[in-house]
Structure 1
């Protein structure tokens, strides 16, 4: 009676959790915020008073006739008008099209040019020709030492938002071949657009919709480009592929279960329970506000693949119910022990996937043990007593398979090259994706696309004279770092850095300086971070080469050393530098993580089995499989965001299958081998299907987990033979 009540409670809980999806739908995200931790970005979005809380997106603008955008001058004025109308929402043809996501800010070079000319009492909006604003001639242009703040800002914007081969003209006449009597000229330029807020669930694809609307209603072509738009595309790709693969996945699972179990009813019930587990987990976690990443979707087929183990061991093996119960319990604990090491990963995406996996594996076991066990046993069609005849595989010669396979898999790990790919958007799109190729082309054409911004947060009190002076000294030292991009104006070299203005007042404080002078920059209007109205930190922004990982890592180390040497407290943020550091940290710790998972598996297995020999075999096999999968990841294309979780998940499968073998109390029978191999084959079918998807993290995980299951079942079969022979000799 008590068992029935537990069964009813669990079933009701699964159904209720699944129904929660109707009220708390899962909205998976795809951005750097859900992939790794950037404390500086979180902090500046929360407390910054002049830094954008939303993400900057990019529009590329060209004229419909493909000609230059700056001649005649009325083309510039037309784009200025479009920009003003769009932000004000005055014209429905150009206004932001949805209330779901807000348009926060637009930054174009033309608007900044207008402000630069206005600082010299000239009007670009009212000009009938370029001579109206370029005469009398500005000898030094916008990059000279006597340039106004607005002109310096316009120079920075011209460099960043126009192509590298653009003529700069008045923006910097000191550069070779540039003249003060000419305007900057180019056939295309970029708009920077900020939409949404500081939430990670902003739908960036809305920018593409708005760009199409602008293109249809004006004489210009607007195209949403840049890394963030590719993240939006990768999210759409992952979601569409997950939806399209679910029906074939269900058909494949049911077919494999029907053939392997020879019982369609068990197949349908097993698949149904796995679906309920996934639905309930997603519904409950979503109710509590958990933010899923697109990468977490990989857990769905994995959880469904794990769910088939119980069906085969209960229905096909020669073990009695108590023995299967113990085997599955040990397998669940050791699998969770292996996977849970990812909860301490430097990659947030890996921690998130591990959490989803751990909960799913536990729920799989819970439902199998307390809901489906009696049903499975009632459908059992084999004799549970071990066959007295010895199988040919039980001959002593086959016991050598265990050490031989261990050595072979260890060899795979030893011959694989080292290194980890730095996380970037290209890891989330197919290699032949045209938009990915277009981004690479943009990186060759624009400083903005090829560079990356790094944010240095420095803790400083806004009302302290001493700390303000110390900050200026730190800033001056930072400016000399060779990794910061330098611009050669012909007369001098200027670092691409957004810093704090100096003051001639010896008693000035940070708050006083920034309250009386503006900080002209594309990215920052006011660098202060405040809590309860009091300044506690500022952010300095520098631009680094976005294609030079080694330079980024050197910059991180040097800045941290500088902070320490000057006794300044602070931190470093920015997508590229944090991603590079996370990849470097993962590369240094991946083997430690693998061995750590092995140690965790050993102690868990020993705690349940009370046999150090059996626990050690499980742990050693788990470590070897993890190292082999890590090696295969490198051999098949490089370690990256997709391979990182696959290694520990592969170790989870190894711990699962090896626990089955070590928990057995008799020589393996043909039924035991059938249960083991059919369970493995069914799971491999799932991941073989996933391997053919085009979303790189999914396809890479599918390939690696297919290999890990194959390695695991081979090793588990060898262990069952080796262990039987060893027990007989003892």
Structure 2
């Protein structure tokens, strides 16, 4: 009677969680947030004044006539400014944003920056009818000169980021060959930076595909060609490919699995019940994650076949083994606890994808064992007695050939481990798309044409007090020294070298009343952030400096991290360093340095747990050695195939 209550409680709980999964479906995500936790990004999310911490998306805009400049032709500039306004205010249904699930948090275009630059010289770009009304020969040095205003310097940076590298920058920086302060920037295409967020404040998953839908609509309804591009859109594409592959192979895979299971177990009822139980377990697990508000990524789906394999293993032992019920229970319990012991260490991994995958596996494997042991055991044992099923007799006497199996297997696994190369790759979009995918070629072309596409932003957060003049001077000094670091990209014109460092405005160091708060209130905006301050309960707690580094150079990111740490520690300040490349490269290096220890630690955990459960140190040692050998070989094989 007691077992019936347990069985009912288990099934009721699983069905309830599965129903929650249906009522509150979890959308699979794939972006850098699902791969690792960026400490700087998390702090910006919690304390940032500007609501634009999300990864930026990029729109590439050109005219239907590829030979037409979209910046020097003033009438086209006006049309694009109107398009920008219609995107935000929704006055034109042909170009408005009509996706209720997603909102535009921030939009950065060259035109908005140019408007502010001209306004700083008491000129109105918005009310002009031609370029000559705002351009004159008195603006010596353009926007990149020593006499430029803060708004002009920001416009210069924005122009360099959002126009192709081979453009004529005109007034933005006359120091470049062919440029002149009396001429407008000249480019056949430009970029817009867009920050999106979910309209649901409780949902941290943003549907980036809405930007692609808007771009297609505008391309169809206007004379401009608009494309959603950049690495985040590639993540969106890879997510779609993974979902399509999952849907397209699900039914064939299920059919193949049923056939394979039937060939081994030879009982269609056992196959059907086992697969149904796995489906219920996976649905219940998704429901549990939904209740806990834990997002699932495409990477987490790797755990589902493993969960299925564990269930099939349990069915095999009960139905085909000649061992007694108690022996099978002992075997499956030992398999479950040793698997959980080996996987559990990954829960504490700083790599979010690794810890999330471990959590999915632990819950799934435990539920597999729970259902097999308390719900399906009687059914499996009854099928063993079926005359159609002949228990598989496991040999108990060793022979000469079998004695060599264990050492030969260990030797083979050891060879794979020894010949594998060292080092790990930084996880990026190239691991999620095929090498010959046209989207990767287009992305590489984008990186060659645009500085912002070939660079990566690193966030350096310094703990400060907003009303302290000393902290303002400290941030200014750190920011100036950062500009001298070789890893940071600089604009070099021959006359000027401007590092891509964005943060606090200089020039107020000798004013005792100048603080981070006072300077930020007068001029806080940069192309990447509306306000660089962090605040908690209305009090400034930190300041963000954004620097651009080569997006393909992980070693440069690691050097920057080490050198910045040394620099800020000399000022006796607390700090946080982040950014996708810096964080990813740092985690990859840490994982490479500790992966051998992780495998050995997993072996030790397995040995201790197996000893406790089996009461046999010898048996536990064999299991632990096998765990370490297989773990090392899998790690080595992964390194061999890249």
TM-score interval for Structure 1 and Structure 2 normalised by the shorter chain? over 0.9
Partner Cα separation in structure 2 for residue 429 and residue 397 of structure 1: 44
Do the aligned residues in 1 keep the contact of 2:57 with 2:193 (CA within 8 Å)?
A: yes
Partner Cα separation in structure 2 for residue 560 and residue 274 of structure 1: 49
Aligned-partner SS, 2:185: coil
Query: What does residue range 112-261 of structure 1 map to in structure 2 within 5 Å?
Result: 112-196=113-197, 200-261=204-265
Asked if 1:629 is matched to 2:634, the reply is yes
Query: What does residue range 324-723 of structure 1 map to in structure 2 within 5 Å?
Result: 324-381=328-385, 394-502=398-506, 503=508, 504-515=510-521, 517-636=522-641, 638=642
Cα-to-partner distance string for 1:636-680 (whole Å, 9 max, x where unaligned): 1x2xxxxxxxxxxxxxxxxxxxxxxxxxxxxxxxxxxxxxxxxxx
Partner Cα separation in structure 2 for residue 137 and residue 219 of structure 1: 35
Do the aligned residues in 1 keep the contact of 2:482 with 2:501 (CA within 8 Å)?
A: no
Cα distance change, pair 116–509 in 1 and its aligned pair in 2 (3 A): closer
Asked if 1:28 is matched to 2:32, the reply is no
Cα drift, residue 326 of structure 1: 0.3
Query: What does residue range 71-110 of structure 1 map to in structure 2 within 5 Å?
Result: 71-110=72-111
Aligned-partner SS, 1:65: coil
Cα-to-partner distance string for 1:176-206 (whole Å, 9 max, x where unaligned): 3322222111111101112215853010000
- In the other structure, the counterpart of 2:49 is 49
Is the deviation greater in 49-58 or in 576-585? 49-58
Cα drift, residue 384 of structure 1: 6.8
Partner Cα separation in structure 1 for residue 114 and residue 578 of structure 2: 30
Q: What stretches of structure 2 of length at least 5 have no aligned partner?
A: none
Do the aligned residues in 1 keep the contact of 2:503 with 2:526 (CA within 8 Å)?
A: no
Partner Cα separation in structure 1 for residue 505 and residue 559 of structure 2: 26
Partner Cα separation in structure 2 for residue 192 and residue 31 of structure 1: 18
Do the aligned residues in 2 keep the contact of 1:70 with 1:76 (CA within 8 Å)?
A: yes
Cα drift, residue 234 of structure 1: 1.6
When normalised by structure 2's length, the TM-score is: 0.95
Cα-to-partner distance string for 1:325-364 (whole Å, 9 max, x where unaligned): 1000000000111111211222101100100100000000
Q: What stretches of structure 1 of length at least 5 have no aligned partner?
A: 639-730
| Cα RMSD after superposing both structures | 1.8
Partner Cα separation in structure 2 for residue 465 and residue 124 of structure 1: 36
Partner Cα separation in structure 2 for residue 479 and residue 70 of structure 1: 30
Cα distance change, pair 137–511 in 1 and its aligned pair in 2 (3 A): closer
Do the aligned residues in 2 keep the contact of 1:70 with 1:184 (CA within 8 Å)?
A: yes
Cα drift, residue 82 of structure 1: 1.1
Cα distance change, pair 467–147 in 1 and its aligned pair in 2 (3 A): closer
Do the aligned residues in 2 keep the contact of 1:346 with 1:586 (CA within 8 Å)?
A: no
Cα drift, residue 587 of structure 1: 1.1
Cα drift, residue 231 of structure 1: 1.3
Cα drift, residue 385 of structure 1: 10
Cα drift, residue 65 of structure 1: 1.0
Cα drift, residue 494 of structure 1: 1.2
Do the aligned residues in 2 keep the contact of 1:51 with 1:523 (CA within 8 Å)?
A: no
Cα drift, residue 80 of structure 1: 1.1
